[in-house]
Each structure stands twice: as C-alpha cells, then as structure tokens.
A and B are shown apart, each in its own frame.
Chain A
C-alpha cells in the first residue's frame, strides 16, 4: 500500500505534465506561449507575496529569539499535560501551527532522543504528518490574493490544530500501546 502510494507520487508530476501537453496539442493550444504567459503571472504573484511572508517570518523570529515563545511553552506545558499531552511533546504541539521549520527540528530532535519506534517518536511523527503550518498557509494564500480580513480562518485553523494534537495522542496510544 505504502510503496504503491510512493510510486504514484513519484510518477504523478511527470505524467500530469505529459497529459496536459498532449491534450494541448490535440486541442491546438499554443502550449509554449500560454505557458510563458501563465509563468509571468506566477512571478508577479511571488513578488507580491514577499512583504506578507517577510512580516510574518520576522515576527516569529523575534518571538523565538527573545525567549518569549519558550516562556509561553513553559507556561502551557502543565496545562497541556493535564489533558494528557506528554511534556516533551508540548513544544511540538505549540510550534506546529506557527513555524514549519521549527516544528520539523523539534520532531527530529524527539525522534533522535527517544528513538523513532518509541511512543514519543511515533507520536511526534504522527503529529508532524497530520497537521500543517496554519500560520504559513494563511499568510501565503491570503497574501497572494491580497485579502486582509481573514474572517474566522485563523480561529478555525488553530482549533483544528488543537484537535489534531489531541487526536494524535489518542490514536497513537490506541494503535501502538
């Protein structure tokens, strides 16, 4: 099952590109001209994305380097452990929605320290895989199309992340213990 899925994900991109080009030839679309036209739009988009992304990353960098984020994690640790989240996992749980690279390094650290096949290693792996960096996604997607009023998106995203963390703990305890 897993190998099969890996093969699909390797083949998917080249085959998709081929299919698009074949259909374009059949329908007599000037593929190269249209490609360049769309590509220009992509370049414009990434330029307009820069200020949004830069603002967010700088803010996160400040928060992390000042030690405020660690203090916040320390504050939340006892609360989280009350709902059954192990203290070593708490930093990951808090960092996951905020910073993708920070979360990944915490996951790597946990796997390195406790071993990939330990309970904590499996839990960190599941958590890392089953949620995404909410803040980054919202910044990129809303930023690219110039939307400043996010509505409930952030709230719902963070609640979903929290549910994801709890669910990961339950599922991993249930499958592997």
Chain B
C-alpha cells in the first residue's frame, strides 16, 4: 500500500503531502494506542477479576449452546468462550471501547487453543463477525444526525439493524464455505 502511494506521488507531484502524512500517520497511531491503553488496562483488570471470581465461566456455560455452533473448535467451559460473549455483548450495546479489550483477550485464548501463529478457523469466524459490525444503536451516527438537525435522528436504527443482521449472517456463511473449501 505504501509503495503504491509513494510511486503515485512521484507522478502526481504530491510528495510533499506524503512526507507530511507519513509522520502524521505515525503520531496518530501513538495517540490511538495511548487512548486504547487506558481502556485496555481498565477492562483487562476488570475481566481478570471476573475470571478469578468464576463469572466468565458461568457466563460461557449459559450461552454455550448458541456459540458452540459458531466455534466448534473451542472446548466446553473454556475462557475463550466467555471473552467472545463479552465482546459480542459490548458490541451490541455500542460499547466499542469495552469490546476491543475483550476481543483481544478472546483472540489470546483462541491462540492458546491453536498453538500456532496462523489464524485458526475460530479466530477468523470471530473477526469476521466483528468486522461486519454488531450494532443495535449506532450512537455516533445518531449524534451526527442530531447535529445537522434531523427530523428523526433515530429513524435509521431499524435499517441499520437489518443491514447489520444480513451482513453478519452472510459473513458467517461465506466464512463457513471458505472453511469447507480449505479442508478439501
């Protein structure tokens, strides 16, 4: 990606902007990591307490029948399941900054299961569900709509939920089909 951009800049005479953007991008990453680290430290600390108190295990037992079908590789009562569920519920309620730490934790647990540095099937399934977004209330968008004085800022909630649902289902389906063709 970077090479394409730089080569394009050579012909387009935008080298100056590229030079600037290079370091802007870098400092943006640092700012992002700092703001991310605050939620990571808080939620991972909190989740560790939850794990030690046995909450995570109970939680994952409760929803096991549903999630089990999506992630057949994860053994019963494994903490990965608890983190996956925590990530999904945080996403559903639009708590993006809580969802990320739980998701990273889930990935870590899944890595313990697969013991390799290749992405496992459950990891891909998990991330595909995440990238297709799992929102019930798109708070940011509603905020923007209110700012530009929409008559009904929340009217897009239904269409968003519907679109999200269809996208997520098709993402899972594509993922499944690809998994099958990989195994052959």
| A interface, CB within 8 angstroms of B | 2, 5-6, 8-9, 12-13, 17, 19-21, 23-24, 26-27, 29, 31, 34-43, 45-47, 49-50, 53-54, 56-69, 71, 97, 104, 107-108, 111-112, 115-117, 121-122, 125-134, 137-138, 140-142, 144-153, 155-157, 159-161, 163-164, 167-168, 171-172, 175-176
Contacts and interface: CB of A to CB of B under 8 A. Distances in A.
B77 interface: no
Interface residues on B, range: 35 or more
B73 interface: no
Given A50-B29, A58-B26, A142-B119, A67 B36 contact: no
B70 interface: no
Interface of B: 1-2, 4-6, 8-9, 12, 14, 17-18, 20-22, 24-26, 28-30, 32-34, 36-37, 40-50, 52-55, 93-95, 98, 100-101, 103-104, 107-108, 111, 117-119, 123-124, 127-128, 130-133, 135-141, 144-145, 148-160, 162-164, 166-168, 170-171, 174-175, 178, 182
26 contacts: A20-B50, A21-B49, A34-B48, A42-B101, A47-B33, A49-B33, A58-B2, A60-B25, A64-B5, A97-B131, A111-B144, A115-B150, A116-B148, A122-B159, A125-B144, A126-B160, A128-B138, A129-B133, A129-B140, A129-B164, A130-B133, A137-B127, A145-B104, A153-B119, A153-B127, A171-B162
Among the interface residues B20, B43, B49, B118, which one has the most CB atoms of the partner chain A within 10 A? B49
B53 A29 contact: yes
Contact of B131 (A49, A121, A132): A132
Given A2-B154, A42-B44, 16 more contacts: A5-B136, A9-B137, A13-B95, A19-B55, A20-B55, A23-B55, A24-B50, A24-B53, A38-B49, A107-B144, A111-B148, A116-B144, A116-B151, A117-B155, A137-B127, A142-B119
Given A138-B131, A157-B128, A68 B4 contact: yes
Given A24-B52, A46-B36, A145-B108, A168 B163 contact: yes
A116 B37 CA distance: 34
A42 B167 CA distance: 31
